[in-house]
Amino acid sequence: MGFNEFDYFRYKVSALTGVDLNSYKGPLMERRLKTLMTRLGIDSYLAYARLLEQDDARREEFKSWFTINVSEFFRNPDKFEELQNVFIPYLLKRSPSLKVWSAGTSNGSEAYSVAIILKETTPFGRHQVLATDVDKEILEVARLGVYKERDLVNVSPERLKTFFEPHPDGYRVRESIRRMVTLRQQDLLKDEFETNLDLILCRNVVIYFTEPAKNEVFQKFSRSLKPGGILFVGATESIINPSQIGLEIVSPFFYRKIEDR
Ligand SMILES: C[S@@+](CC[C@H](N)C(=O)[O-])C[C@H]1O[C@@H](n2cnc3c(N)ncnc32)[C@H](O)[C@@H]1O
């Protein structure tokens, strides 16, 4: 069998960075890879594999570039309003303390957005918000909780005053919100999922996965939810056949775990 340069590259990348290129969609992944290689002036996968092997900084750059970290507070504000006005009250009726997971949280703005909503709805509530991402560096950004104005375009002046404090680099999420969120590194394609969750947000993450990888992740989300629990997905990530994995659609981008009858 001939030597396939890309297969070798894929193998090397997985060994060096933990990123499994097999689970990412072909064209999108190739485009991102090509852009990065052009920027670095590299013209072969073999040369890139060698560089990644030798250079720590290049490895970190690869991970950040590859796992695209774009996010903002209350991304799709109308959906967050629906979360606050419809689904959080629904979940609170079933359980006074909610267990929430922001999967692929990026810089934490998604997790802090939910924490803010929970604080507004139940000021004395004791909820847990778990926020995970595969990318260690972006989790450090989340831990710091400092954001530029462009990340805060959907934050009202009242919320800005109540839940943020001025910081030399923008605004920092106040401690009362930061302490509601637990940050943890986790790869959705490899690692164990939490169980007994009331609400999972996984938005703008699985778009990069192949169909089989995406289906498996959704199936595992379904298993992780309590009966009646809610899964909130991104605007381009609808689930084709939700009932096959024990979910039902309750509103665009919101799914509920079907209860045993
Ligand atoms: C575009 S951001 C989405 C952030 C946020 N959920 C939102 O909608 O604004 C995608 C995030 O998914 C993360 N990601 C990519 N592959 C992942 C994987 N296999 N496991 C966990 N997170 C992953 C990336 O590191 C990145 O931070």
Residue 25 sits in the same domain as residue 86: no
CA angle 24, 29, 35 (to 5 degrees): 160
Higher pLDDT, 18 or 2: 18
CA of 2 to the centre of ligand 1 (A): 35
**Residue 19 pLDDT grade (very low, low, confident, very high; cuts 50, 70, 90):** confident
Asked if residue 71 is part of any domain, the answer here is: no
Q: Which residues contact 108 (CB under 8 A, 6 or more apart)?
A: 131, 139, 141, 142, 143, 145, 173, 181, 183
The CATH number linked to 170 is: 3.40.50.150
CA of 21 to the centre of ligand 1 (A): 15
**Residue 67 pLDDT grade (very low, low, confident, very high; cuts 50, 70, 90):** low
Q: What is the mean pLDDT of residues 61-69?
A: 76
Q: Give the percent of the chain with pLDDT over 90.
A: 75
Residue 188 CA: which ligand 1 atom is closest? 20
| Residue whose CA lies nearest to ligand 1 atom number 11 | 104
CA of 254 to the centre of ligand 1 (A): 18
For the cut 70, the answer to whether the pLDDT of residue 170 exceeds it is yes
- Total structural domains within the chain: 2
Ligand 1 mutation pick, 133, 202, 207, 221, max ligand atoms within 8 A of CB? 133
Residue 241 sits in the same domain as residue 176: yes
Residue 27 sits in the same domain as residue 110: no
Residue 168 sits in the same domain as residue 40: no
Query: CB within 6 Å of ligand 1 — which residues?
Result: 67-71, 75, 104-106, 110, 133-135, 138, 187-189, 203-205, 234
The per-residue pLDDT for 211 is 86
**Listed range (8-12, 26-30, 173-177) with the worst mean pLDDT:** 26-30
CA of 106 to the centre of ligand 1 (A): 5
**Residue 261 pLDDT grade (very low, low, confident, very high; cuts 50, 70, 90):** low
CA distance 217 to 81: 26
Residue 191 CA: which ligand 1 atom is closest? 20
Residue 61 sits in the same domain as residue 86: no
- Which tokens belong to 231? 């899964």
For the cut 90, the answer to whether the pLDDT of residue 58 exceeds it is no
Residue 72 CA: which ligand 1 atom is closest? 9
CA of 10 to the centre of ligand 1 (A): 20
For the cut 60, the answer to whether the pLDDT of residue 129 exceeds it is yes
- Which tokens belong to 127? 């909820």
CA distance 216 to 222: 10
The per-residue pLDDT for 164 is 98
Q: What is the mean pLDDT of residues 174-187?
A: 97
Q: How far is CA 191 from its chain centroid?
A: 14
Domain boundary among 40, 66, 92: 66
Domain range for residue 121? Answer: 77-257
Asked if residue 101 is part of any domain, the answer here is: yes
| Residue whose CA lies nearest to ligand 1 atom number 26 | 69
CA of 218 to the centre of ligand 1 (A): 14
Residue 23 sits in the same domain as residue 81: no
For the cut 60, the answer to whether the pLDDT of residue 123 exceeds it is yes
**Listed range (57-61, 183-187, 253-257) with the worst mean pLDDT:** 57-61
Domain boundary among 35, 66, 97: 66
The per-residue pLDDT for 51 is 94
Residue 58 sits in the same domain as residue 82: no
